[in-house]
Amino acid sequence: MIPFGSTRTLHVGLVYDARDDYLARGFSCEQVAEFDCEETIAALDNAIAALGVRVNRIGNARNLAQELAAGRRWDLVFNFAEGVEGRSREAQVPCLLELYGIPYTFSDPLTCAITLDKAVAKRIVRDAGIATPDFAVIRTMADIDGMPLSYPLFAKPIAEGTGKGITSRSCVDTRQELAALCSELLEKYDQPVLVEEYLPGREFTAGILGTGNKARVIGVMEIVFKECTARPVYGVNVKKQYQDFVRYSHAIQPESLCTRVADIALQSYRLLECRDAGRVDIRCNSKGVPCFVEVNPLPGLQPVHSDLVILAHHKGIEYNALIGSIVESAVDRMTAIAHTMTGA
């Protein structure tokens, strides 16, 4: 087992998808929206190194596979690679690392796969009694007929992040609008479309640190659109220029609502067995009841603009401390496993 607690300097690998690498290969700006810029990679590198460990930039999953095949190993891998293809793409790096018995940050392959497929995650959450809007999965255009949902509806790709595929057209009022949108999304993203009953209420996101019974909500913030629109949509274009379109409110009233949002977020996070850190999106229905929307087990870590970083900063947790908490949680998990295996 990896010698955490030893006197030697630990060796930490850093696995990521660099945006510039994929742009150079001909990927579009939307395709690389989830990937990270050099600023973020450098900030993570520096924050991890500040813990007194040796950091090795590995790069993406293909680079990781090549390094592993060449015999290179690390005491811990800080993984924030999103992956490129398939609904289980976020599970690819964790799978490789588990194959070679190397500890890593964030969730395991099963959780990464489940949470990226939004319908699977919603079924698990719903079966546990947590509120989430009724939904259907559109795999072919024929699935629209006889769909037992009430309009207005909200449609988005089933396995995308960063608001990809979400625009002002995502909320639809008629079968004709839904058919046109689903046809476009099926062709463009080559994956099923998740259609759910539209939630017209307030929108929140909650940041969480830790694992299992040690997980805790560090903050909840509300996404408030600056211009009043009937159906505001927090899509990829809005997220890229959020300062122009939204403000983040940490003074949520009433306090009972904030508490309920935090409770649902933590229940969902633990239920889906997320680890080390994550972010849960919650939106209220027409009766003001908070409902689970989705969870992100690989939260953005851009040092200024990412939601988890903003939430942490508001609570007095600076960037290096946030990254340190994530690493500490991962080390704590692996140390507990080591002690169990050795009988310590």
CATH class of the domain whose range is 134-197: alpha beta
- Residues 128, 121 contacting (CB under 8 angstroms): no
Count Cα neighbours of 194 within 13 Å in the Cβ-side half-sphere: 24
Domain with CATH 3.30.1490.20 in the chain: 134-197
Domain with CATH 3.30.470.20 in the chain: 200-319
What pLDDT, on the 0 to 100 scale, is given for residue 1?
32
By CB atoms closer than 10 A (0-12, 13-18, 19+), residue 256 is exposed
Taking the C-alpha atoms of residue 63 and residue 73, their distance in angstroms, rounded to an integer, is 13
Q: Which among 208, 190, 160 is positioned nearest to 34, based on CA atoms?
A: 160
CATH of domain 200-319: 3.30.470.20
Give DSSP secondary structure letters for 269-317: HHHTT--SEEEEEEEE-TTS-EEEEEEESS----TTT-HHHHHHHHTT-
- Residues 157, 327 contacting (CB under 8 angstroms): no
pLDDT mean values, one per 10 residues, the chain (344 residues): 54 97 92 93 98 96 98 97 94 98 97 97 98 97 94 96 88 96 96 97 97 98 81 66 81 96 98 98 97 97 95 97 97 71 48
pTM value surpassing 0.85: yes
What pLDDT, on the 0 to 100 scale, is given for residue 341?
44
What pLDDT, on the 0 to 100 scale, is given for residue 117?
97
